[in-house]
Structure 1
Protein backbone atom coordinates (compact mmCIF):
# COMPACT_ATOMS: atom_id res chain seq x y z
CA UNK A 1 0.00 0.00 0.00
CA UNK A 2 1.32 3.46 -0.88
CA UNK A 3 2.06 6.08 1.78
CA UNK A 4 -0.75 8.21 0.35
CA UNK A 5 -3.24 5.38 0.89
CA UNK A 6 -2.02 4.93 4.46
CA UNK A 7 -2.89 8.58 5.10
CA UNK A 8 -6.31 8.07 3.57
CA UNK A 9 -6.97 5.02 5.76
CA UNK A 10 -6.26 7.11 8.87
CA UNK A 11 -8.47 9.97 7.75
CA UNK A 12 -11.71 9.83 9.76
CA UNK A 13 -13.52 13.11 9.05
CA UNK A 14 -15.23 11.37 6.14
CA UNK A 15 -15.04 7.85 4.81
CA UNK A 16 -16.59 7.80 1.38
CA UNK A 17 -18.37 10.92 0.22
CA UNK A 18 -22.12 10.73 0.92
CA UNK A 19 -23.82 7.95 -1.01
CA UNK A 20 -25.66 10.40 -3.26
CA UNK A 21 -22.35 11.85 -4.51
CA UNK A 22 -20.67 8.54 -5.29
CA UNK A 23 -23.84 7.29 -6.98
CA UNK A 24 -24.05 10.43 -9.12
CA UNK A 25 -20.36 9.96 -10.02
CA UNK A 26 -21.14 6.46 -11.26
CA UNK A 27 -24.12 7.71 -13.27
CA UNK A 28 -21.98 10.43 -14.89
CA UNK A 29 -19.49 7.75 -15.96
CA UNK A 30 -22.27 5.59 -17.45
CA UNK A 31 -23.20 6.69 -20.97
CA UNK A 32 -26.54 4.88 -20.64
CA UNK A 33 -27.70 7.01 -17.68
CA UNK A 34 -30.91 9.00 -18.06
CA UNK A 35 -32.37 12.03 -16.34
CA UNK A 36 -34.80 9.66 -14.63
CA UNK A 37 -31.85 7.80 -13.07
CA UNK A 38 -30.53 11.07 -11.63
CA UNK A 39 -33.97 12.04 -10.37
CA UNK A 40 -34.34 8.74 -8.52
CA UNK A 41 -31.04 9.32 -6.70
CA UNK A 42 -31.42 12.92 -5.60
CA UNK A 43 -35.09 12.83 -4.60
CA UNK A 44 -34.01 11.01 -1.43
CA UNK A 45 -31.85 13.99 -0.38
CA UNK A 46 -34.16 16.92 0.50
CA UNK A 47 -31.32 19.37 1.08
CA UNK A 48 -29.87 18.67 -2.34
CA UNK A 49 -33.31 18.97 -3.93
CA UNK A 50 -33.75 22.38 -2.29
CA UNK A 51 -30.39 23.59 -3.60
CA UNK A 52 -31.14 22.22 -7.05
CA UNK A 53 -34.46 24.04 -7.31
CA UNK A 54 -32.92 27.23 -5.89
CA UNK A 55 -30.20 27.05 -8.54
CA UNK A 56 -32.47 26.45 -11.52
CA UNK A 57 -34.86 29.22 -10.41
CA UNK A 58 -32.07 31.72 -9.75
CA UNK A 59 -31.51 34.82 -11.94
CA UNK A 60 -28.51 33.01 -13.45
CA UNK A 61 -30.86 30.94 -15.62
CA UNK A 62 -33.49 33.65 -16.06
CA UNK A 63 -36.35 31.23 -16.72
CA UNK A 64 -39.74 32.75 -17.43
CA UNK A 65 -41.61 30.13 -15.40
CA UNK A 66 -40.74 28.62 -12.05
CA UNK A 67 -39.42 25.05 -12.13
CA UNK A 68 -40.72 22.82 -9.34
CA UNK A 69 -39.99 19.40 -10.86
CA UNK A 70 -36.74 17.59 -10.10
CA UNK A 71 -36.63 16.06 -13.59
CA UNK A 72 -37.13 19.42 -15.32
CA UNK A 73 -34.53 21.03 -13.04
CA UNK A 74 -31.93 18.39 -13.93
CA UNK A 75 -32.78 18.81 -17.62
CA UNK A 76 -32.17 22.56 -17.37
CA UNK A 77 -28.91 22.59 -15.43
CA UNK A 78 -27.42 19.33 -16.78
CA UNK A 79 -26.22 16.18 -15.10
CA UNK A 80 -22.65 17.38 -14.50
CA UNK A 81 -23.91 20.59 -12.93
CA UNK A 82 -26.07 18.53 -10.58
CA UNK A 83 -23.09 16.34 -9.70
CA UNK A 84 -20.96 19.42 -8.98
CA UNK A 85 -23.71 20.84 -6.79
CA UNK A 86 -23.77 17.63 -4.74
CA UNK A 87 -19.96 17.50 -4.40
CA UNK A 88 -19.81 21.16 -3.35
CA UNK A 89 -22.54 20.65 -0.77
CA UNK A 90 -20.79 17.59 0.69
CA UNK A 91 -17.33 19.14 0.87
CA UNK A 92 -18.52 22.44 2.32
CA UNK A 93 -19.52 20.61 5.51
CA UNK A 94 -16.11 18.95 5.79
CA UNK A 95 -14.30 22.28 5.49
CA UNK A 96 -16.24 23.84 8.39
CA UNK A 97 -14.21 24.80 11.45
CA UNK A 98 -14.77 26.75 14.67
CA UNK A 99 -14.51 30.50 14.01
CA UNK A 100 -11.88 30.98 16.73
CA UNK A 101 -9.29 28.93 14.80
CA UNK A 102 -6.26 31.20 14.33
CA UNK A 103 -3.61 28.72 13.12
CA UNK A 104 -1.65 29.57 9.98
CA UNK A 105 -3.56 26.78 8.23
CA UNK A 106 -7.29 27.35 8.16
CA UNK A 107 -9.97 25.04 6.76
CA UNK A 108 -12.09 28.09 6.05
CA UNK A 109 -9.27 29.72 4.10
CA UNK A 110 -8.73 26.48 2.18
CA UNK A 111 -12.44 26.27 1.35
CA UNK A 112 -12.45 29.83 0.03
CA UNK A 113 -9.32 29.09 -2.01
CA UNK A 114 -10.87 25.93 -3.47
CA UNK A 115 -14.13 27.73 -4.27
CA UNK A 116 -12.34 30.62 -5.99
CA UNK A 117 -10.13 28.24 -7.99
CA UNK A 118 -13.19 26.25 -9.08
CA UNK A 119 -15.10 29.35 -10.22
CA UNK A 120 -12.03 30.78 -11.95
CA UNK A 121 -11.29 27.43 -13.65
CA UNK A 122 -14.81 27.28 -15.06
CA UNK A 123 -14.41 30.83 -16.39
CA UNK A 124 -10.99 30.07 -17.93
CA UNK A 125 -12.31 26.91 -19.62
CA UNK A 126 -15.35 28.66 -21.08
CA UNK A 127 -14.06 32.17 -21.80
CA UNK A 128 -10.47 31.51 -22.83
CA UNK A 129 -10.69 28.07 -24.41
CA UNK A 130 -14.37 27.85 -25.38
CA UNK A 131 -15.01 24.47 -23.73
CA UNK A 132 -17.55 23.33 -21.15
CA UNK A 133 -16.33 24.31 -17.69
CA UNK A 134 -18.11 21.70 -15.55
CA UNK A 135 -15.07 19.42 -15.18
CA UNK A 136 -12.85 22.41 -14.43
CA UNK A 137 -15.22 23.51 -11.66
CA UNK A 138 -15.27 20.03 -10.13
CA UNK A 139 -11.49 19.74 -10.23
CA UNK A 140 -11.10 23.15 -8.60
CA UNK A 141 -13.32 22.15 -5.68
CA UNK A 142 -11.43 18.87 -5.13
CA UNK A 143 -7.83 19.72 -6.01
CA UNK A 144 -6.48 20.53 -2.51
CA UNK A 145 -8.52 18.06 -0.48
CA UNK A 146 -5.35 16.13 0.35
CA UNK A 147 -4.28 19.01 2.61
CA UNK A 148 -7.21 18.25 4.93
CA UNK A 149 -6.10 14.63 5.17
CA UNK A 150 -2.54 15.62 6.09
CA UNK A 151 -3.78 18.17 8.63
CA UNK A 152 -5.82 15.56 10.49
CA UNK A 153 -3.40 12.65 10.30
CA UNK A 154 -0.13 14.56 10.98
CA UNK A 155 -1.38 17.80 12.53
CA UNK A 156 1.81 18.91 14.32
CA UNK A 157 4.16 18.18 11.41
CA UNK A 158 1.67 19.62 8.94
CA UNK A 159 1.37 22.92 10.80
CA UNK A 160 5.16 23.11 11.06
CA UNK A 161 5.38 22.71 7.27
CA UNK A 162 2.75 25.41 6.76
CA UNK A 163 4.66 27.83 8.98
CA UNK A 164 7.93 27.41 7.06
CA UNK A 165 7.05 26.92 3.40
CA UNK A 166 7.22 29.93 1.07
CA UNK A 167 5.98 28.52 -2.23
CA UNK A 168 3.85 25.71 -3.59
CA UNK A 169 6.99 24.03 -4.93
CA UNK A 170 8.54 24.22 -1.46
CA UNK A 171 5.33 22.82 0.05
CA UNK A 172 5.54 19.67 -2.10
CA UNK A 173 9.21 19.16 -1.18
CA UNK A 174 8.50 19.51 2.55
CA UNK A 175 5.47 17.21 2.40
CA UNK A 176 7.54 14.51 0.74
CA UNK A 177 10.38 14.95 3.24
CA UNK A 178 8.07 14.68 6.27
CA UNK A 179 5.34 12.33 5.02
CA UNK A 180 6.72 10.39 2.05
CA UNK A 181 3.82 11.68 -0.02
CA UNK A 182 2.08 14.98 -0.79
CA UNK A 183 -1.45 16.36 -0.92
CA UNK A 184 -1.59 15.99 -4.72
CA UNK A 185 -0.97 12.26 -4.51
CA UNK A 186 -3.39 11.85 -1.61
CA UNK A 187 -6.07 13.79 -3.50
CA UNK A 188 -5.40 11.65 -6.57
CA UNK A 189 -6.10 8.39 -4.75
CA UNK A 190 -9.14 9.80 -2.93
CA UNK A 191 -10.68 11.06 -6.17
CA UNK A 192 -10.06 7.64 -7.72
CA UNK A 193 -11.98 6.06 -4.84
CA UNK A 194 -14.80 8.56 -5.40
CA UNK A 195 -15.13 7.59 -9.09
CA UNK A 196 -14.33 11.09 -10.30
CA UNK A 197 -13.71 11.64 -14.05
CA UNK A 198 -10.35 10.47 -15.36
CA UNK A 199 -9.19 13.93 -16.47
CA UNK A 200 -10.14 15.38 -13.06
CA UNK A 201 -8.17 12.70 -11.22
CA UNK A 202 -5.09 13.33 -13.38
CA UNK A 203 -5.29 17.11 -12.93
CA UNK A 204 -5.54 16.74 -9.14
CA UNK A 205 -2.39 14.61 -9.21
CA UNK A 206 -0.50 17.09 -11.43
CA UNK A 207 -1.75 20.49 -10.26
CA UNK A 208 1.63 21.36 -8.69
CA UNK A 209 3.80 19.44 -11.18
CA UNK A 210 6.06 21.76 -13.17
CA UNK A 211 5.98 20.63 -16.80
CA UNK A 212 7.71 22.02 -19.87
CA UNK A 213 5.08 20.74 -22.30
CA UNK A 214 1.76 21.23 -20.51
CA UNK A 215 -1.10 22.36 -22.74
CA UNK A 216 -2.78 25.49 -21.29
CA UNK A 217 -6.16 24.20 -22.52
CA UNK A 218 -5.76 20.89 -20.64
CA UNK A 219 -7.51 20.51 -17.30
CA UNK A 220 -4.13 20.45 -15.55
CA UNK A 221 -3.18 23.68 -17.33
CA UNK A 222 -6.48 25.34 -16.44
CA UNK A 223 -6.19 24.42 -12.75
CA UNK A 224 -2.60 25.66 -12.51
CA UNK A 225 -3.57 28.94 -14.20
CA UNK A 226 -6.57 29.34 -11.90
CA UNK A 227 -4.47 28.73 -8.78
CA UNK A 228 -2.02 31.36 -9.99
CA UNK A 229 -4.85 33.88 -10.50
CA UNK A 230 -6.38 33.05 -7.10
CA UNK A 231 -2.99 33.68 -5.50
CA UNK A 232 -2.67 37.07 -7.22
CA UNK A 233 -6.11 38.02 -5.88
CA UNK A 234 -5.09 37.02 -2.32
CA UNK A 235 -7.06 33.76 -2.23
CA UNK A 236 -4.08 31.45 -1.62
CA UNK A 237 -4.09 28.33 0.58
CA UNK A 238 -1.66 29.86 3.09
CA UNK A 239 -0.74 33.48 3.85
CA UNK A 240 2.14 34.78 1.71
CA UNK A 241 2.71 31.54 -0.18
CA UNK A 242 3.85 31.93 -3.81
CA UNK A 243 2.08 29.80 -6.39
CA UNK A 244 4.56 28.36 -8.89
CA UNK A 245 3.20 27.14 -12.25
CA UNK A 246 4.66 25.59 -15.40
CA UNK A 247 6.61 27.93 -17.75
CA UNK A 248 4.32 27.41 -20.80
CA UNK A 249 1.39 28.61 -18.69
CA UNK A 250 3.18 31.80 -17.71
CA UNK A 251 3.94 32.42 -21.37
CA UNK A 252 0.30 31.78 -22.25
CA UNK A 253 -0.83 34.29 -19.61
CA UNK A 254 1.52 36.95 -20.97
CA UNK A 255 0.33 36.39 -24.54
CA UNK A 256 -3.32 36.66 -23.51
CA UNK A 257 -3.08 39.28 -20.79
CA UNK A 258 -5.95 41.42 -22.12
CA UNK A 259 -8.42 38.51 -21.96
CA UNK A 260 -7.23 37.46 -18.50
CA UNK A 261 -7.41 41.03 -17.20
CA UNK A 262 -11.10 41.16 -18.13
CA UNK A 263 -11.65 37.72 -16.57
CA UNK A 264 -10.04 38.85 -13.30
CA UNK A 265 -12.22 41.96 -13.24
CA UNK A 266 -15.32 39.81 -13.64
CA UNK A 267 -14.27 37.14 -11.14
CA UNK A 268 -15.61 38.88 -7.97
CA UNK A 269 -19.09 39.07 -9.48
CA UNK A 270 -18.95 35.38 -10.40
CA UNK A 271 -17.85 34.53 -6.85
CA UNK A 272 -20.80 36.49 -5.47
CA UNK A 273 -23.16 34.69 -7.84
CA UNK A 274 -21.79 31.29 -6.78
CA UNK A 275 -22.12 32.27 -3.11
CA UNK A 276 -25.82 32.97 -3.58
CA UNK A 277 -26.26 29.45 -5.00
CA UNK A 278 -23.84 27.31 -3.00
CA UNK A 279 -23.33 29.40 0.12
Structure 2
Protein backbone atom coordinates (compact mmCIF):
# COMPACT_ATOMS: atom_id res chain seq x y z
CA UNK A 1 0.00 0.00 0.00
CA UNK A 2 1.57 3.26 -1.16
CA UNK A 3 1.57 5.98 1.51
CA UNK A 4 0.12 9.41 0.60
CA UNK A 5 3.51 11.00 1.35
CA UNK A 6 5.30 8.63 -1.01
CA UNK A 7 2.66 9.16 -3.71
CA UNK A 8 3.10 12.92 -3.38
CA UNK A 9 6.89 12.63 -3.50
CA UNK A 10 6.83 10.62 -6.73
CA UNK A 11 4.24 12.94 -8.32
CA UNK A 12 6.53 15.88 -7.61
CA UNK A 13 9.63 14.10 -8.92
CA UNK A 14 8.59 13.04 -12.40
CA UNK A 15 9.76 16.23 -14.13
CA UNK A 16 13.30 16.06 -12.71
CA UNK A 17 13.50 12.27 -12.82
CA UNK A 18 12.18 11.42 -16.27
CA UNK A 19 13.48 9.07 -18.94
CA UNK A 20 14.49 10.31 -22.41
CA UNK A 21 11.96 10.09 -25.23
CA UNK A 22 14.05 7.58 -27.19
CA UNK A 23 13.58 4.94 -24.49
CA UNK A 24 9.78 5.20 -24.63
CA UNK A 25 9.82 5.27 -28.43
CA UNK A 26 11.88 2.07 -28.53
CA UNK A 27 9.67 0.38 -25.94
CA UNK A 28 6.55 1.13 -27.98
CA UNK A 29 8.19 -0.16 -31.16
CA UNK A 30 9.28 -3.37 -29.45
CA UNK A 31 5.69 -4.06 -28.39
CA UNK A 32 4.32 -3.31 -31.88
CA UNK A 33 4.76 -6.19 -34.33
CA UNK A 34 4.56 -3.78 -37.28
CA UNK A 35 8.13 -2.65 -36.56
CA UNK A 36 11.08 -4.80 -37.58
CA UNK A 37 14.47 -5.04 -35.90
CA UNK A 38 15.81 -2.90 -38.74
CA UNK A 39 13.24 -0.19 -37.93
CA UNK A 40 14.30 -0.23 -34.29
CA UNK A 41 17.96 -0.09 -35.28
CA UNK A 42 17.31 2.98 -37.44
CA UNK A 43 15.78 4.85 -34.47
CA UNK A 44 18.81 4.14 -32.28
CA UNK A 45 21.14 5.09 -35.16
CA UNK A 46 19.59 8.57 -35.22
CA UNK A 47 21.47 9.23 -31.97
CA UNK A 48 25.13 8.84 -33.02
CA UNK A 49 26.53 9.21 -29.49
CA UNK A 50 24.18 6.57 -28.09
CA UNK A 51 24.83 4.25 -31.03
CA UNK A 52 28.59 4.54 -30.60
CA UNK A 53 28.36 3.88 -26.86
CA UNK A 54 26.14 0.84 -27.33
CA UNK A 55 28.48 -0.63 -29.94
CA UNK A 56 31.49 -0.07 -27.66
CA UNK A 57 29.68 -1.90 -24.85
CA UNK A 58 28.59 -4.81 -27.05
CA UNK A 59 32.12 -5.15 -28.46
CA UNK A 60 33.78 -4.94 -25.04
CA UNK A 61 35.23 -7.96 -23.19
CA UNK A 62 32.13 -7.66 -20.98
CA UNK A 63 30.27 -9.61 -23.69
CA UNK A 64 33.22 -11.49 -25.15
CA UNK A 65 31.91 -11.93 -28.69
CA UNK A 66 34.56 -13.22 -31.09
CA UNK A 67 33.42 -11.37 -34.22
CA UNK A 68 33.21 -7.57 -34.22
CA UNK A 69 29.68 -6.13 -34.21
CA UNK A 70 29.62 -2.99 -36.34
CA UNK A 71 25.91 -2.11 -36.64
CA UNK A 72 23.03 -1.68 -34.22
CA UNK A 73 20.92 -4.17 -36.19
CA UNK A 74 23.68 -6.76 -35.77
CA UNK A 75 23.88 -5.95 -32.05
CA UNK A 76 20.13 -6.54 -31.75
CA UNK A 77 20.45 -9.87 -33.57
CA UNK A 78 23.30 -11.01 -31.30
CA UNK A 79 22.17 -9.93 -27.81
CA UNK A 80 18.43 -9.57 -28.40
CA UNK A 81 16.16 -6.56 -28.47
CA UNK A 82 15.18 -6.73 -24.78
CA UNK A 83 18.79 -6.77 -23.60
CA UNK A 84 19.73 -3.97 -25.99
CA UNK A 85 16.76 -1.97 -24.71
CA UNK A 86 18.07 -2.49 -21.17
CA UNK A 87 21.47 -1.18 -22.28
CA UNK A 88 19.79 1.86 -23.83
CA UNK A 89 18.07 2.52 -20.52
CA UNK A 90 21.28 2.00 -18.52
CA UNK A 91 23.26 4.34 -20.75
CA UNK A 92 20.68 7.11 -20.89
CA UNK A 93 19.98 6.99 -17.14
CA UNK A 94 23.65 7.51 -16.29
CA UNK A 95 23.80 10.36 -18.82
CA UNK A 96 20.67 12.08 -17.60
CA UNK A 97 20.94 11.66 -13.83
CA UNK A 98 24.71 11.96 -13.70
CA UNK A 99 24.29 15.69 -14.29
CA UNK A 100 22.01 16.31 -11.31
CA UNK A 101 23.79 18.56 -8.78
CA UNK A 102 23.66 17.09 -5.30
CA UNK A 103 25.00 18.41 -2.01
CA UNK A 104 24.24 15.26 -0.03
CA UNK A 105 25.59 12.62 -2.42
CA UNK A 106 28.93 12.51 -4.21
CA UNK A 107 27.63 11.66 -7.67
CA UNK A 108 30.84 10.04 -8.91
CA UNK A 109 30.89 7.77 -5.84
CA UNK A 110 27.19 7.08 -6.34
CA UNK A 111 27.72 5.85 -9.89
CA UNK A 112 30.87 3.92 -8.99
CA UNK A 113 28.90 1.95 -6.43
CA UNK A 114 25.89 1.60 -8.73
CA UNK A 115 28.00 0.16 -11.56
CA UNK A 116 29.79 -2.12 -9.08
CA UNK A 117 26.45 -3.43 -7.88
CA UNK A 118 25.26 -3.85 -11.47
CA UNK A 119 28.35 -5.85 -12.46
CA UNK A 120 28.12 -8.03 -9.35
CA UNK A 121 24.39 -8.66 -9.89
CA UNK A 122 25.01 -9.68 -13.50
CA UNK A 123 27.87 -12.02 -12.54
CA UNK A 124 25.84 -13.63 -9.75
CA UNK A 125 22.90 -14.09 -12.12
CA UNK A 126 25.14 -15.57 -14.81
CA UNK A 127 26.57 -18.16 -12.40
CA UNK A 128 23.08 -18.79 -11.03
CA UNK A 129 22.00 -19.85 -14.55
CA UNK A 130 19.59 -16.92 -14.92
CA UNK A 131 18.52 -16.17 -18.48
CA UNK A 132 18.80 -12.60 -19.80
CA UNK A 133 21.16 -11.34 -17.10
CA UNK A 134 20.98 -7.75 -18.41
CA UNK A 135 17.86 -7.21 -16.30
CA UNK A 136 19.96 -7.89 -13.18
CA UNK A 137 22.63 -5.51 -14.45
CA UNK A 138 19.93 -2.85 -14.86
CA UNK A 139 18.44 -3.61 -11.44
CA UNK A 140 21.86 -3.20 -9.85
CA UNK A 141 22.44 0.07 -11.68
CA UNK A 142 19.05 1.52 -10.66
CA UNK A 143 18.57 -0.02 -7.19
CA UNK A 144 19.67 3.15 -5.38
CA UNK A 145 17.89 5.67 -7.63
CA UNK A 146 15.43 6.39 -4.80
CA UNK A 147 18.31 7.91 -2.80
CA UNK A 148 18.75 10.53 -5.51
CA UNK A 149 15.05 11.39 -5.33
CA UNK A 150 15.18 11.72 -1.53
CA UNK A 151 18.33 13.85 -1.66
CA UNK A 152 16.70 16.22 -4.17
CA UNK A 153 13.14 16.34 -2.89
CA UNK A 154 13.51 15.77 0.87
CA UNK A 155 17.06 16.95 1.59
CA UNK A 156 16.58 17.86 5.27
CA UNK A 157 14.89 14.58 6.20
CA UNK A 158 17.34 12.56 4.13
CA UNK A 159 20.31 14.30 5.76
CA UNK A 160 18.92 13.39 9.18
CA UNK A 161 18.74 9.75 8.12
CA UNK A 162 22.29 9.87 6.74
CA UNK A 163 23.64 11.39 9.94
CA UNK A 164 21.70 8.99 12.18
CA UNK A 165 23.14 6.07 10.22
CA UNK A 166 26.60 7.67 10.27
CA UNK A 167 26.59 7.13 6.48
CA UNK A 168 26.55 3.34 7.03
CA UNK A 169 24.44 1.93 4.21
CA UNK A 170 23.58 -1.16 6.26
CA UNK A 171 21.78 1.08 8.76
CA UNK A 172 20.44 3.76 6.42
CA UNK A 173 17.18 2.10 5.34
CA UNK A 174 16.10 1.60 8.97
CA UNK A 175 16.55 5.29 9.71
CA UNK A 176 14.83 6.25 6.45
CA UNK A 177 11.83 4.20 7.52
CA UNK A 178 11.70 5.66 11.03
CA UNK A 179 12.43 9.30 10.10
CA UNK A 180 10.79 9.60 6.66
CA UNK A 181 8.22 6.80 6.66
CA UNK A 182 9.58 4.84 3.71
CA UNK A 183 12.94 3.77 2.27
CA UNK A 184 14.93 4.59 -0.85
CA UNK A 185 13.91 1.15 -2.15
CA UNK A 186 10.23 2.11 -1.80
CA UNK A 187 10.91 5.34 -3.67
CA UNK A 188 12.82 3.52 -6.40
CA UNK A 189 10.00 1.01 -6.88
CA UNK A 190 7.36 3.71 -7.28
CA UNK A 191 9.51 5.82 -9.60
CA UNK A 192 10.15 2.84 -11.87
CA UNK A 193 6.42 2.12 -11.89
CA UNK A 194 5.70 5.65 -13.11
CA UNK A 195 8.29 5.12 -15.85
CA UNK A 196 6.30 2.10 -17.02
CA UNK A 197 9.18 -0.31 -16.46
CA UNK A 198 8.48 -4.05 -16.05
CA UNK A 199 7.30 -5.52 -12.76
CA UNK A 200 10.37 -7.77 -12.82
CA UNK A 201 12.46 -4.62 -12.36
CA UNK A 202 10.40 -2.55 -9.94
CA UNK A 203 9.51 -5.45 -7.64
CA UNK A 204 13.14 -6.56 -7.52
CA UNK A 205 14.32 -3.07 -6.57
CA UNK A 206 11.42 -2.49 -4.17
CA UNK A 207 12.19 -5.71 -2.30
CA UNK A 208 15.97 -5.85 -2.46
CA UNK A 209 16.35 -4.79 1.18
CA UNK A 210 14.00 -7.60 2.28
CA UNK A 211 14.03 -10.10 -0.61
CA UNK A 212 11.70 -12.53 1.15
CA UNK A 213 8.93 -9.95 0.61
CA UNK A 214 9.05 -10.40 -3.18
CA UNK A 215 5.93 -12.17 -4.42
CA UNK A 216 6.89 -12.98 -8.03
CA UNK A 217 10.56 -12.19 -8.64
CA UNK A 218 12.05 -13.63 -5.48
CA UNK A 219 15.25 -14.96 -7.11
CA UNK A 220 16.04 -11.58 -8.66
CA UNK A 221 15.39 -9.82 -5.35
CA UNK A 222 17.77 -12.17 -3.51
CA UNK A 223 20.46 -11.73 -6.17
CA UNK A 224 20.15 -7.94 -5.99
CA UNK A 225 20.22 -8.03 -2.17
CA UNK A 226 23.46 -10.01 -2.29
CA UNK A 227 24.97 -7.76 -4.97
CA UNK A 228 24.22 -4.63 -2.98
CA UNK A 229 25.73 -6.03 0.19
CA UNK A 230 28.80 -7.26 -1.69
CA UNK A 231 29.21 -3.85 -3.35
CA UNK A 232 29.18 -2.27 0.12
CA UNK A 233 31.90 -4.68 1.24
CA UNK A 234 34.34 -3.75 -1.52
CA UNK A 235 37.24 -1.90 0.11
CA UNK A 236 35.86 -2.37 3.63
CA UNK A 237 38.04 -3.70 6.44
CA UNK A 238 35.80 -6.69 7.17
CA UNK A 239 35.79 -7.49 3.48
CA UNK A 240 33.81 -9.74 1.24
CA UNK A 241 34.02 -12.81 3.47
CA UNK A 242 32.05 -11.06 6.21
CA UNK A 243 29.35 -10.08 3.71
CA UNK A 244 29.07 -13.66 2.45
CA UNK A 245 28.72 -14.95 6.02
CA UNK A 246 25.65 -12.74 6.44
CA UNK A 247 23.76 -14.48 3.65
CA UNK A 248 21.30 -17.05 4.95
CA UNK A 249 21.52 -20.69 3.98
CA UNK A 250 18.06 -20.36 2.41
CA UNK A 251 19.26 -17.48 0.20
CA UNK A 252 22.30 -19.43 -0.97
CA UNK A 253 20.12 -22.43 -1.83
CA UNK A 254 17.66 -20.22 -3.71
CA UNK A 255 20.36 -18.59 -5.87
CA UNK A 256 22.13 -21.94 -6.27
CA UNK A 257 25.51 -20.56 -5.21
CA UNK A 258 27.90 -21.44 -2.41
CA UNK A 259 29.95 -18.98 -0.39
CA UNK A 260 33.06 -20.26 -2.16
CA UNK A 261 31.49 -19.63 -5.58
CA UNK A 262 30.51 -16.09 -4.60
CA UNK A 263 34.06 -15.44 -3.40
CA UNK A 264 35.38 -16.65 -6.76
CA UNK A 265 32.87 -14.47 -8.63
CA UNK A 266 34.02 -11.41 -6.69
CA UNK A 267 37.54 -11.94 -8.01
CA UNK A 268 36.18 -11.11 -11.48
CA UNK A 269 34.46 -7.88 -10.46
CA UNK A 270 37.29 -5.34 -10.67
CA UNK A 271 38.13 -5.96 -14.32
CA UNK A 272 34.53 -5.95 -15.50
CA UNK A 273 33.68 -2.93 -13.35
CA UNK A 274 36.46 -0.80 -14.83
CA UNK A 275 35.35 -1.66 -18.35
CA UNK A 276 31.69 -0.84 -17.73
CA UNK A 277 32.34 2.30 -15.71
CA UNK A 278 34.46 3.76 -18.50
CA UNK A 279 31.82 2.81 -21.08
CA UNK A 280 28.76 3.99 -19.15
CA UNK A 281 30.25 7.08 -17.49
CA UNK A 282 33.10 8.23 -19.76
CA UNK A 283 33.05 11.77 -18.35
CA UNK A 284 33.47 10.68 -14.75
CA UNK A 285 36.87 9.97 -13.25
CA UNK A 286 37.25 6.77 -11.27
CA UNK A 287 39.09 7.33 -8.00
Deviation at 1:47, TM superposition (A): 1.4
Shift of 1:157: 2.1
SS state of the match for residue 218, structure 1?
helix
Change (3 A) 1:172 1:29: farther
Structure 2: stretches of 5+ with no match in the other structure: 237-242, 282-287
The alignment of Structure 1 onto Structure 2 pairs a total of residues equal to 269
CA distance in 1, matches of 2:170, 2:226: 15
**Are the equivalent residues in 2 in contact too, given 1:151–1:158 (CA < 8 A)?**
yes
Contact 2:59–2:65 (Cα < 8 Å) also in 1: yes
Q: Work out whether residues 203 and 220 of structure 1, in 8 Å CA contact, stay in contact via their aligned partners in 2.
A: yes
Instruction: Classify 1:144/1:44 alpha carbon distance in 2 versus 1 (closer, same or farther; 3 Å).
Output: same
Structure 2 residue aligned with 1:49, among 43, 48, 51?
Answer: 51
Higher relative contact order (CA 8 A, sep 6+): 1
Q: Secondary structure at the match of 1:207?
A: coil
Aligned to 1:263: 265
Say yes or no: does 1:20 pair with 2:30.
Answer: no
Q: How does 1:99-114 map to 2 (within 5 A)?
A: 105-114=105-114
Residue equivalent to 1:137: 137
* Equivalence map 1:78-93=2 (5 Å): 78-93=80-95
Secondary structure of 2:209's match?
coil
Aligned to 1:274: 276
Q: Judging changes above 3 Å, is the alpha-carbon distance between structure 1 residues 69 and 2 closer, same or farther for their aligned structure 2 residues? A: same
TM-score with structure 1 setting the length: 0.81
In the alignment, is the contact (CA less than 8 A) between 2:207 and 2:214 conserved in 1? no
Match of 1:2 in 2: 4
Of 220-229 and 175-184, deviating more is 175-184
Contact map agreement 2:176 2:182 (CA 8 A) in 1: yes
Give 1:201 shift.
1.0
Asked if 2 retains the 8 angstrom alpha-carbon contact of 1:184 and 1:207, the reply is yes
Query: Partners of 1:254 and 1:189 in 2: how far apart?
Result: 30
Alignment of 1:111-260 (within 5 A): 111-165=111-165, 168=169, 170-209=171-210, 211=212, 218-234=219-235, 247=248, 248-249=250-251, 256-260=258-262
Where structure 1 has 5 or more consecutive residues not aligned to the other structure, the ranges are: 236-241
What CA deviation, in whole Å up to 9, does each residue of 1:187-235 have, x standing for no partner?
A: 1111112222211111111011263899997110110011121112148
Distance 2:217 2:41 in 1: 36
Give yes or no for contact 2:57–2:279 (8 Å, CA) kept in 1: yes
Q: CA deviation at 1:6?
A: 1.4
TM-score normalised by the chain length of structure 2: 0.79
- Conserved 8 A contact 2:112-2:277: no
What displacement does 1:63 show? Answer: 4.1
Identify if the C-alpha distance between structure 1 residues 131 and 269 changes in structure 2 by more than 3 Å, giving closer, same or farther: same
- Structure 1's 28 and 173: CA in aligned 2 closer, same or farther, altered over 3 A? farther
Q: Residues 8 and 69 (structure 1 numbering): CA distance in 2 closer, same or farther, change over 3 Å?
A: same
Of 193-202 and 82-91, the range deviating more from structure 2: 82-91
Closer, same or farther: CA 129–228 of 1 in aligned 2, 3 Å: farther
Report Cα offsets for 1:129-162 as digits up to 9, x if no partner: 3433111111111111011000011112212211
Identify the range of structure 1 (70-79 vs 193-202) with the bigger mean alpha-carbon deviation. 70-79
Task: Tell whether the 8 Å contact from 2:165 to 2:171 is kept in structure 1 after alignment.
Answer: yes
